[in-house]
Each structure stands twice: as C-alpha cells, then as structure tokens.
Structure 1
Amino acid sequence: RCNLTIVNVIDAPCGYGKTSWAIQYMNEMSLESHRFIYVTPFLDEVTRVQQSVHSRKFYEPESIKGETKLNDLHRLLGQGKDIATTHALFKMANAETRELVRSNNYTLILDEVMNVIEQVPLKKDDLESMIDLGLIEYEVNNRGLTYIKWKQDRLDHESQFDIFKKYAIGNNLMLCADKTALMWNLPCDIFKLFKDVFIMTYLFKGQFQRYYYDLHGIKYRYLSFAKDDQEYRLVPYNDREVHDKEQLRSWITIYEGKLNDIGDNRNTLSKSWLENSRNKDLVTTLKRNTFSFLTNHCKANNSTALWTTVKGNKESIQKKLTPKGYKNAFIPMTERATNLHKDKYHLAYLVNRFMNPIEKGFFQQYDVKVDEDTWALSELIQWVWRSSIRDCKPIVIYIPSKRMRDLFNQYLTSDKFETLPEEAVTDQPPSDWNL
C-alpha cells in the first residue's frame, strides 16, 4: 500500500542549480543523521558527486570478482555507505534491496525522472500458454490494478517464459486491459522505504513518473528554489522565483521560414511517420533542409551544431537523416542531465514526440489523466538544455514539426505549462525537517 506523502519533487528549469543544491545538502547534513543514495542517468554525474561532496565519501557499486553491481550495491547498503549510482542499476532493485534500504534509513536523491514503466514484448499466445501450463495467475490489488503472479509451486519451472517469471516474482509485472501487452513496473513500495525522497526534474506534471505515482496513489509535494548569494534553499512551489521568460526569449531564435513547410501536419515527423517507407522522399527533403539550415543559415560546423531524431532500427532513420558533414553532431533525443554539449548553439530537432501508445493506454485504462503535450514539450526542453542555453548564451534552433514548434513558442510566451495539477501539494515545506 503506497499512500504516504513522501516524495519531494523539486521542479525547476534546467540549469537552475538542482544538482548544486543536492551537493550542498549532502555536504551539510551530519554523518550521524543522514545516509544518501544519489541516482543519476550518467556515470560522469556519479563522478561529479564523488568529487564535489567533501563531507562524506560516496561509493559507486562495481562488478568485481564475478559479483554483479547489484550484489555490490547490497554489500554497500548493508554497510550503510553513501552511494552514487545510475538509473539503470537502481531499476534492478529487488526484495533484498528494499529491505536494506528500509533497515538503514536512507534518503534518496533522484536526478531526473526514471523509466519507471516499460512495455515487455508479448507474443500472441504467451499469456494463454502460461495460464494453460498453470504458471501464472492474475491478482487484482486494493487499487484495482492487475498484476501477473507466478505460482509458488511452479518456481522451479524453466521455459521460454523465464523473463516473465523474473518480473512476476519481483512483483513488477502488470497487465494491460486488452491483454495485448505486459508492463514492467518499478515496485512502488521502494519509494516509501526511504526516510525522504527528492526528485529533481522539470515539468514533472508531464512525466511518466508522475502518472505512475498517480496510478499507485503515491502523493507528492512540489518544491522549488530560492537562491541567496551562493546558498540554495528549498521553498514550497508557491514561493518560487518565477522563471523570467522574457530574458529566456532573448536568447532563443526559433527558425521561421520555408524549411518548416515539411512539418505542417499534426503527425508529421513522428516516429511512425519517419519509419513509413511512403515518406522516404520527404525524409530526403528533411535531410536537405537540415543541411541548408545548419550550413547556409547558421554557417555551422560539427563543433557548433547539435541535432537529433529517432534512431530507428539499427540506426536506420538516423543514418537516412544525417546531413552531410554533421555525423558527429548527433546526440539522442532522450539525452538529459549532462553538461557535455554546452558549447553547442546551432540546433536541429527533427522529431515530433508522441508517447508510446501502449504505455499511454496503460495509464488511461486505470483513469490516470495523461498530458501528452506537456510530456512532448518536456522532452524537447530537456534536449535543448544540453546546449549553450544552459550557460545563458544564445542559440538558434530548427524545429520543422509545427506541433513541436507551437508547443515551444507557447512555453516561451506563457506560464500555461507551469500551472500544476489541482490535486498537487504546492504550499508545504520539504519533508526533511533539517532543511
């Protein structure tokens, strides 16, 4: 039963100093009162935390002497060490991880939202076969959510269904209503085993992790920052320093012109549009347009340019769209929480983001409201903020999808996306009274 108000969501724009606040917090808390797990998407951010927090030593789980990283994580948790690790490892948490977290009174700092749900590929007759073989049963919990349970007396059964078995034993496997897909789902009880949980992100209201919390009845409070000199303070979201969009607009030039004509329809440049062989001539045009924007319009080169699109199967779409001379300027459209590209200022965003329809439908079947436009915008912003806009330096960006361009313009000219869901807690201080 996940029903405690425990999650502190620090919702502040990219580059506002969320990581700096976390480093300050971990440096200031006493070794007696606090143990931390810091979880970030990237290994270089693990290193940054290890180098920046001087008051305590952070350990990074390693695979040594035939032991897995998860075994090492359990060893470090058992010893009560401060730990810095990646999203990928944290997602492997199992019953043993949860018990060690609970008994050692840890505080979780999560840098950026995680993939808390993922579709598990299911062949046509897999479910029926597993039921016929007496391997699984359905279990509906007190919130009406349907889980796949592996039967206790069939634990030693080995088959082609072992991947489902692994997830079902960990209480991680949920059923989509139409029974066409299964969903891996990070067990929500892990979030209530920490002393405090802090998630550092932006536009949380559009993120899958928010819908996952709504699905499981986990309450969250919104916080933001105030900064005095070099000190960061967490404040209730209602007391935040409001984002100065006028200043922001002065640094961002969005290309307007005929190179945008290709993206006028609502679904153009979506993943399925890019993958559709009927659009191959249009994809060639898009590649030409991007080259023209970067080379003729911006006078860009590999050291100033950054572009992205859907990678596609075996990077097929990425290869088809790579403008001549800009192969090394590509970064994935899901890139976040890294400073490696902050000297780039000529940008091309060649994709129109929509949620995976099965994941979106998974939430909707349980009456969780999904805001696809805020999600798409937040994905775009995360990507754009890898560039020199992080350091308040000007950028020029080509967004050929009219839908994505309109969302970005709306964001830059209004506070529409910063208004929070009605049920959100926005007037409370953080849960850790030491703050």
Structure 2
Amino acid sequence: MIHVIDSEMGSGKTRGITEWLESDVSTQSNDTKYIYVTPFLDEVKRVMQLCPQANFHTPNNEDWSTKSKHLTHLVSKSHNIATTHSLFSLITQDMCRMLRERRYVLILDEVMECVSKYNALSDHDIKVLLKSGYVSPCENTSNLIWSEIDDDKYIGKFGAVRHLCLNRKLDLYGGKVLLETFPIEFLNCFSEVYILTYLFKGSAMSSYLKAHGLTYEMLTIQDNKIKPWSEFCDESSRKRDLRGLITIYEGPMNKIGTKIGQSCPLSSTWYDTQATQKTSAIASLKASTGHYFKKVADTRAIDNAWTVFKPQVKRLKGDGYSKGWIPVNCRATNQYIDKRSLAYLCNVFHNPTIVQYFKQRGIAFNQDLYALSEMLQWIWRSQIRRCDPIHLFIPSERMRGLLYLWLNTRSTPELIRQLS
C-alpha cells in the first residue's frame, strides 16, 4: 500500500511521521523494519535524532569500500536504515529480494526521480551498443537486456550500462533514447510506502505510479498528526496569512517574461536560444536582477537568493547576489532559511521526452502543476518557512501567474480543477 502525506512545506510532515514511527517502533509486536530516505545527509542525521528508539543506521564508506555495499549489509542484518535518495536509487535486484523477505516499510521524504534521460552515452555509443549485440530490447517491455548476463569479468566503457541493464533500470525509448528508470518492483518489494511531499499529483512520480497501474492513499498532516487528505486539505486560512507575507514585484522589469505568440520566455530552451543568437536579453535580465536586489528589495547580499538553470549561472550572476544561487530543484533543506529577497529567473517545464513517455502510456502530465510545485519548493527554502516576510522577483509571466493562482485557491483539489 502506498500512502502519500501531502502537506505544505514546513507544515510538520517530518515531525509528524517521526512521531508516528517512534510510537510504532515502541509498541509493535511484529518484525517490521524501516528504511527512511531523504534528500540530504543533514536530514538523515536529523531523522536519526528524532527517532532514537528506531535505532537507525546510516551507510558509510569508512569501514566499507562503498556505501552501497554497507547498505546491502544493513538490509541483510534487518537494521532500520536512514539514507539519501542518491544512495537509495542504487538498490539492486538482490537487495530488493532481501527487503521483501524482511518486510521493510519505506518512508520517502520527497518524491523520487523515477524516470530520467540517461545522458552518459552519446547517440553514436547507443548505436554501437545495439548493433554489437551487447544489449537488446526486451520483447514484452521497453527494458534493455544485457546479452552476456554471465559475463562477470566484463571490463569496458559500458560497465555502468551493464549494471543498469542487469537491474532492469534502463529503457530504450523511441528506438534511440535511453531512459534510466526506477523499476516498479523495487517499490512493490516494500510492505508499505509513505511519501512525504506537497502537490504530489503534479509530480512525475505520481504519473509513474499511474503508468504502472498503482494507486495511492492521500493523507495530510495537521497538528503533527496524520489525517485524511480529503477532510483536511483546506488551506484558505494559511494562504490568507501568506498573502500578507509575500510581496511579489510588479513592474516594467517583468516585461522580458511576457509571452508573445508561441514563445516560452525564461524557459531552458529560451535561454539557450538567446545565448546562441547572442541577443541582449540575458544581459538585460542580469541588470534587472541586480537592480531588483539593490533598489527594489534593498537587501544585503547575504539576504538574497536567486536561481536560474545551471548552464546559465555564469551569464546571470552579478554583484550583490551571486553567492546566493540556489539550484532550481532544491528542496527539503533548511540551509537557506535566512534568505528574504528572492529572484526566480526560470520558466519551468518537465523534459518533453519524459512527458511523451507518460503520454504513450495513457497518462496526461500537468506541466503547470509540476512547475508550480517546483517553484513553491524553491521559495520555501527561504524565511517564509518560518512565517517571516519575503520579497519575490518572478519575471516569468507564467510562473508568476501560477503563484497568484495558488495563493488565491482554497485547496489543492480546487487548484487542480482550475489548471485542468
């Protein structure tokens, strides 16, 4: 059974689930074991502190050659485990079997990236792999199969590909694109799964579960207690307070993000086009960002945070805010909680190949709900998380409109209806 605990950032999801977990560990009479997965090591340490009775172990490479090998050992010994998303994504078929045998419960703090483009090989390398016979598409699925399964002595440039294939983590899409996927059986090996996030229905993980025919129960957190989502999803009171705490810039510097025709200003493709054509748009946006922090927000560099897609960081960074860059996909950390003036210089869309991947499986993907979710996660790294006021510069007309829509809807179901 999959349970989604869907509640606004900073609403106490971690506190609520750890209190439930501590209570369950102290009273349970069965042999249930837990693996708690969170994005950052700092959060791993926090979970271990919040759950002393669970006696969580975390993999390390001090006594083991790799953290992955230590993780396998901890599972074999039926320990409760706290680890990161990046390490958890490395689990294997053998580990999956042990997790199932030991009836582990999985707690995911934030959604996983279940499908992504595999960019480690060039188009030429993919052709070589297919023509050489090292890999071949499975007849019944899109999985790539490594032909020489018993060739444990293989050493070569395709070693990583071989490992992924043997663990059913590599798909061939459209005959030429490689996708790295998290095998659905790796989720099914757990007796229960809890996912802690917000706007889950806008996530790629939600689409991934639907594509595999899996359903999930929606829950939420109120007063540190797990409650039914359908009965406790009204956010009107909280959003009324937020509207008084968030100041969104409205002025001529937003013109660069206004949609004209079919354009998608401030999207990743737009930035690439401006850079290739050597237009003045990026320089103009950089000047506007500096002006915003210095003259409009009038805050110190230490108080400022900004984001843009990673390839554009060097082009956009400027005096008074450069060191405040936070990755656009940042979530689940309190590291930036003192930031109070923010510039969100992105217009977010999920990778079109992944969207098409879901579409071919009959699953519609809501780009607006996804973009809003990503932006909210980023904004909530700031001091708004502790209910302190913030200033926002969001030049993208689309992203700014999504934030206004969210602030003025009573609940996520109402938001989804308006975006459908």
Does the pair score TM above 0.5? Answer: yes
Superimposed CA distance per residue, residues 368-404 of structure 1 (whole angstroms, 9 cap, x where no aligned partner): 2111110011000000011111111111100001011
Map of 1:258 onto structure 2: 252
**Contact 2:234–2:410 at 8 Å: present in 1 too?**
no
Q: Which secondary structure does the structure 2 equivalent of 1:222 belong to?
A: strand
Write the distance in 2 (CA, Å) between the matches of 1:267 and 1:18.
Answer: 35
Write the distance in 1 (CA, Å) between the matches of 2:126 and 2:303.
Answer: 50
1:18-97 aligned within 5 A:
18-30=13-25, 32-33=29-30, 34-97=32-95
Map of 1:209 onto structure 2: 205
Write the distance in 2 (CA, Å) between the matches of 1:419 and 1:73.
Answer: 42
Superimposed CA distance per residue, residues 101-144 of structure 1 (whole angstroms, 9 cap, x where no aligned partner): 11111111100011111211353344543343332232244xxx
1:203-282 aligned within 5 A:
203-227=199-223, 232-244=224-236, 245-265=239-259, 266-276=263-273, 277=275, 278=277, 280-282=279-281
Report the residue type matching 2:405 in the other structure: Q
Give, in angstroms, the shift of residue 322 of structure 1.
1.0
Report the residue type matching 1:293 in the other structure: Y
Q: Does 1:382 align with 2:377?
A: yes
**Does the C-alpha gap of structure 1 residues 364 and 134 become closer, same or farther in structure 2, counting only changes over 3 Å?**
same
When normalised by structure 2's length, the TM-score is 0.91
**Matched residues, number:** 405
Give, in angstroms, the shift of residue 303 of structure 1.
2.1
Write the distance in 2 (CA, Å) between the matches of 1:418 and 1:342.
Answer: 29
Give, in angstroms, the shift of residue 66 of structure 1.
4.9
Map of 2:317 onto structure 1: 322
Give, in angstroms, the shift of residue 159 of structure 1.
4.4
**Does the C-alpha gap of structure 1 residues 355 and 153 become closer, same or farther in structure 2, counting only changes over 3 Å?**
closer
Name the stretch that deviates more: 79-88 or 264-273.
Answer: 264-273
Write the distance in 2 (CA, Å) between the matches of 1:264 and 1:224.
Answer: 36
Give structure 2 stretches of 5+ with no counterpart. Answer: none
**Contact 1:273–1:279 at 8 Å: present in 2 too?**
no
Map of 1:191 onto structure 2: 187
Write the distance in 2 (CA, Å) between the matches of 1:209 and 1:281.
Answer: 38
Q: Does 1:180 align with 2:169?
A: no
**Contact 1:18–1:200 at 8 Å: present in 2 too?**
yes
Superimposed CA distance per residue, residues 330-363 of structure 1 (whole angstroms, 9 cap, x where no aligned partner): 1111110011111211111011111112222222
Map of 2:297 onto structure 1: 298
Write the distance in 2 (CA, Å) between the matches of 1:238 and 1:41.
Answer: 28
Write the distance in 1 (CA, Å) between the matches of 2:305 and 2:124.
Answer: 44
Write the distance in 2 (CA, Å) between the matches of 1:56 and 1:323.
Answer: 47
**Does the C-alpha gap of structure 1 residues 153 and 163 become closer, same or farther in structure 2, counting only changes over 3 Å?**
closer
Q: 2:166 aligns with which of 164, 169, 174?
A: 169
Q: Does 1:344 align with 2:339?
A: yes
Q: Which secondary structure does the structure 2 equivalent of 1:299 belong to?
A: coil
**Contact 2:114–2:181 at 8 Å: present in 1 too?**
yes
Q: Which secondary structure does the structure 1 equivalent of 2:82 belong to?
A: strand
Map of 1:134 onto structure 2: 133
Superimposed CA distance per residue, residues 398-430 of structure 1 (whole angstroms, 9 cap, x where no aligned partner): 0001011111111111247435989xxxxxxxx
Superimposed CA distance per residue, residues 146-182 of structure 1 (whole angstroms, 9 cap, x where no aligned partner): 2211224673555443332221111111121x22311
% identical equivalent positions: 33
Q: Does 1:113 align with 2:96?
A: no
Report the residue type matching 1:242 in the other structure: D
**Does the C-alpha gap of structure 1 residues 356 and 371 become closer, same or farther in structure 2, counting only changes over 3 Å?**
same
**Contact 2:172–2:179 at 8 Å: present in 1 too?**
yes
**Contact 2:234–2:411 at 8 Å: present in 1 too?**
no
Write the distance in 1 (CA, Å) between the matches of 2:406 and 2:147.
Answer: 50
**Does the C-alpha gap of structure 1 residues 17 and 152 become closer, same or farther in structure 2, counting only changes over 3 Å?**
same
Write the distance in 2 (CA, Å) between the matches of 1:193 and 1:61.
Answer: 20
Write the distance in 2 (CA, Å) between the matches of 1:254 and 1:418.
Answer: 24
Map of 2:354 onto structure 1: 359
**Contact 2:218–2:229 at 8 Å: present in 1 too?**
yes
Map of 1:7 onto structure 2: 2
Q: Which secondary structure does the structure 2 equivalent of 1:382 belong to?
A: helix
Give, in angstroms, the shift of residue 76 of structure 1.
1.1
Q: Which secondary structure does the structure 2 equivalent of 1:15 belong to?
A: coil
**Contact 1:225–1:241 at 8 Å: present in 2 too?**
no
**Contact 2:293–2:321 at 8 Å: present in 1 too?**
no
Map of 1:426 onto structure 2: none
Report the residue type matching 2:191 in the other structure: K
Q: 2:146 aligns with which of 131, 139, 150?
A: 150
**Contact 2:406–2:415 at 8 Å: present in 1 too?**
no
